[in-house]
Structures are given as structure tokens and as C-alpha cells.
């Protein structure tokens, strides 16, 4: 890995953050767009959950992660505190890997 | 501020999330060194790029023999969603330009999700900053630990790859109680899953943004064109 690669990637990652937060974000937005923006976290976080649970590169897979995240969902539904949800998720995934 | 019990609860959750991300960062350190990065390069990526998904994607493409250009493409696409988060967060973060340029570096999945989970502006701002800073500290510490450990451990043995989606499930759940966010979340998840096999890494999550259109109330006929234009 080259240092140029590290710096170019760092620059582009920061570019997107500043673009959204500072450059575009400063403008007054129409109400419809504001309502859409408020829903972005729910839509993207849900996408990340299914992505990180069921994907391996461009493939859809069903492995120990699904068991871990499923257990975490039950814990979240039962109102377990965040740290418990994380430990249950990791623990169940580790357990399923260990026995399979 | 810390006399407010609700605020204490929020802070505790934000720091917990940072800690979980830090544990996960160990696996990034391991992966980076495995892909041929030096310990210094692995740490520089976490300090400067500071976008976990992009960093992981970059080192996994390089590790499997991909070119720097293809590693960069996927990583940049994954970083693009922080632009969307920045846009969503900009209404809640005020202050000087300098302060917002600092805030930009900690616009992440975690800080945005934690902020979105709060009901009022003060808690939202606090959740953003505390989560962002705690993730920054723990992510970089974890990266260093993982890079030094090298390939001595396999993080998957401890289920670390399930820790982050589990944490996001925990943050997402309370948002699903209301109808509009629930519809946006379901649509986002479905779009993402449907695109994974057919599009380059990074694209499915970015495209999940269209999920918000399913959460916005159906416009009356005279507002129809406005909604489409937006």
C-alpha cells in the first residue's frame, strides 16, 4: 500500500463529509426535502444492518453473523441496553462459529 | 448538563457505542497489516480517512490483489454516504465555519444514528459530538492494537464482525416505533439487499437513500410535482 493511496483516500473521504455538512448543508431547503433528510438515518442505518449481516463483497450469504444480529434484534426488542445488545450479537455469532 | 439524568443516559450509550467500534477496529488493524500496510499506514488511515466501511473495503480489495484504482473506487463510494449524513445533520449543527469543519470529520454512521435517535436539539447535538469523539478515540486505539497484533488473531472467532450490525440494530429499533421512519427503514433495507449482487460495493447502501421517499407522507395531487422534483 502506498502513502499516496492513504492520502488520496483521506482527502476524498473528508471531501464528502464537508460537501454535505458545510457546502450544501448551509442552504435553506424546501420543507419536502427537509422531511426527507430527517428520514435518511433510518433508511441508511437499516441498509447498513442488512449489508453488514448478509453480504460478503457482492455475494449474499447466510452465516453466523445472521444468528448474532437476529439475537441482537430480539435483545433490542426486549429493551436490553446497547452494550448488552452488542455483546449478545458478537457472542451468539462467535458461538455459532465455534459449534459449526 | 450532566445533572440531567436523561443526558447521562445518552452519554453512556454514546461512549458504549464508541467502545464497541473500538473493539471492531482491532479487526481493521489486523486486516490492514494483512493487506500489506505498515503499522503507521494502518494508523494513518484511521486517523485521516476515519470512515470504517471505506477503510475495510480498500484493504480487502488490495488484499485480494485488486489495483489501487479499484480499491479507491469502492472506498470512495462507501465514503459518499457521509455526504448524505452531513446534509441530514447540517440542520442540527450550528456554530462557526471552523467548528463545522471539525464536525465534518466525525460525520459517520454512528454519530448520525445516535443524534437521530434523540428527541430534542440539545441531546441531539451532544449525542453527535460525544459519539463522534468517542468513536474517533476508540477507533484509532483499536486500529493500533490490531495492527500490532497483526495476524496473530482472527477477529471473526470472537464474532467481532457481528458487533457493528448488532449495535446498529440497537440504535435503529427505537426509530422503528414511528410509522414514517419505519417505512423508510424497510424500503432502505430492501433496496440495499436487492442491489448487493448486481452493483459494485458501496452502491447498495448509497442507493438505500431512496428509502426516504417511502417514508414521506403521500403528497396531495397539487403537491405531487414538488415531491417528485425534490
pLDDT for B204 equals: 87
Contact between residue A53 and residue B165 where contact means Cβ atoms under 8 Å apart: yes
- List pLDDT tens digits, range B149-166: 887 778 788 888 888 889
Q: Sorting pLDDT into bands at 50, 70 and 90, what band is A26?
A: confident
Q: From CA B54, how far away is CA A6, in angstroms rounded?
A: 11
Contact check, Cβ <8 Å, A97/B159: yes
pLDDT for B202 equals: 77
pLDDT for B222 equals: 46
Hey, is A59 helix, strand or coil? strand
CB pairs below 8 Å between A and B: how many? Answer: 322
Candidate from A8, A20, A52 with C-beta closest to B84: A20
Greater model confidence, B137 or B28: B137
The C-alpha of B186 sits at a distance from chain A's nearest C-alpha, in angstroms, of: 7
> A63: alpha, beta or left, given left = phi > 0 and alpha = psi -120 to 50?
beta
The answer on pLDDT for B68 being more than 70 is yes
- List pLDDT tens digits, range A83-100: 899 899 999 999 999 998
pLDDT for A50 equals: 94
With CA atoms as reference, report the closest residue to A92 among B39, B130, B159.
B159
The DSSP code for A60 is E
Cell numbers at residue A95, please? 458461538
pLDDT for B220 equals: 46
Greater model confidence, A32 or B14: B14
pLDDT for B211 equals: 92
pLDDT for B229 equals: 41
> What is the mean predicted confidence (pLDDT) over A15-31?
85
Q: Sorting pLDDT into bands at 50, 70 and 90, what band is B183?
A: very high
Greater model confidence, B152 or B183: B183
Cell numbers at residue B206, please? 448509497
Contact between residue B185 and residue A92 where contact means Cβ atoms under 8 Å apart: no
The answer on pLDDT for B221 being more than 80 is no
pLDDT for B40 equals: 95
Contact check, Cβ <8 Å, B163/A32: no
Contact check, Cβ <8 Å, A89/B167: yes
Which of B49, B100, B131, B168 should one mutate to test binding to chain A, selecting the residue with the greatest count of A CBs within 10 A? B168
> What is the mean predicted confidence (pLDDT) over B217-227?
49
Residue with cell 455526504: B83
- List pLDDT tens digits, range B190-207: 999 999 999 887 788 889
With CA atoms as reference, report the closest residue to B175 among B227, B218, B211.
B211
pLDDT for B218 equals: 57
pLDDT for B203 equals: 85
Contact check, Cβ <8 Å, A49/B160: no
Contact between residue B133 and residue B106 where contact means Cβ atoms under 8 Å apart: yes
Residue of chain B whose Cα is closest to the Cα of A68: B162
The answer on pLDDT for A72 being more than 60 is yes
pLDDT for B219 equals: 53
For chain A, the C-alpha Rg in angstroms (whole number) is 19
Cell numbers at residue B4, please? 440531567
Cell numbers at residue B30, please? 489486523
Q: From CA A38, how far away is CA B126, in angstroms rounded?
A: 18
Cell numbers at residue B20, please? 464497541
Burial bucket for residue B130 (CB in 10 Å: 0-12, 13-18, 19+): buried
The DSSP code for B2 is T
Most confident of A64-68, B61-65, B114-118, B147-151: A64-68
Contact check, Cβ <8 Å, B16/A82: yes
A99–chain B Cβ distance below 8 A for any pair: no
Amino acid at each position: 500500500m502506498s502513502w499516496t493511496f492513504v492520502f488520496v483516500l483521506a482527502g476524498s473521504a473528508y471531501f464528502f463529509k464537508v460537501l454535505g455538512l458545510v457546502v450544501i448543508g448551509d442552504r435553506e431547503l424546501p420543507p419536502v426535502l427537509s422531511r426527507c433528510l430527517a428520514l435518511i438515518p433510518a433508511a441508511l442505518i437499516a441498509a447498513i444492518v442488512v449489508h453488514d449481516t448478509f453480504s460478503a463483497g457482492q455475494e449474499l450469504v447466510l452465516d453466523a453473523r445472521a444468528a448474532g444480529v437476529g439475537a441482537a434484534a430480539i435483545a433490542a426488542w426486549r429493551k436490553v441496553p446497547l452494550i448488552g445488545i452488542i455483546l449478545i450479537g458478537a457472542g451468539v455469532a462467535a458461538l455459532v462459529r465455534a459449534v459449526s | 448538563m450532566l445533572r440531567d439524568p436523561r443526558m447521562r443516559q445518552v452519554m453512556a450509550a454514546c461512549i458504549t457505542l464508541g467502545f464497541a467500534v473500538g473493539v471492531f477496529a482491532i479487526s481493521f488493524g489486523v486486516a490492514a497489516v494483512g493487506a500489506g500496510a505498515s503499522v503507521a499506514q494502518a494508523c494513518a488511515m484511521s486517523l485521516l480517512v476515519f470512515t470504517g466501511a471505506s477503510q475495510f473495503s480498500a484493504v480487502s480489495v488490495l488484499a485480494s490483489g485488486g489495483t489501487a484504482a479499484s480499491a479507491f473506487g469502492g472506498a470512495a463510494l462507501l465514503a459518499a454516504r457521509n455526504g448524505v449524513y452531513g446534509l441530514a445533520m447540517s440542520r442540527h449543527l450550528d456554530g462557526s465555519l471552523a467548528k463545522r469543519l471539525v464536525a465534518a470529520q466525525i460525520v459517520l454512521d454512528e454519530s448520525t444514528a445516535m443524534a437521530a435517535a434523540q428527541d430534542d436539539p440539545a441531546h441531539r447535538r451532544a449525542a453527535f459530538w460525544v459519539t463522534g469523539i468517542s468513536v474517533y478515540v476508540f477507533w484509532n486505539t483499536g486500529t493500533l492494537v490490531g495492527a500490532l497484533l497483526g495476524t496473530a488473531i482472527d477477529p471473526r472467532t470472537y464474532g467481532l464482525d457481528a458487533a457493528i450490525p448488532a449495535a446498529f440494530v440497537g440504535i435503529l429499533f427505537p426509530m422503528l416505533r414511528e410509522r414514517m421512519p419505519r417505512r423508510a427503514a424497510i424500503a432502505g433495507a430492501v433496496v440495499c439487499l436487492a442491489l448487493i449482487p448486481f452493483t459494485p460495493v458501496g452502491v447498495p447502501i448509497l442507493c438505500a437513500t431512496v428509502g426516504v421517499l417511502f417514508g414521506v407522507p403521500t403528497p396531495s395531487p397539487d403537491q405531487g410535482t414538488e415531491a417528485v422534483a425534490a
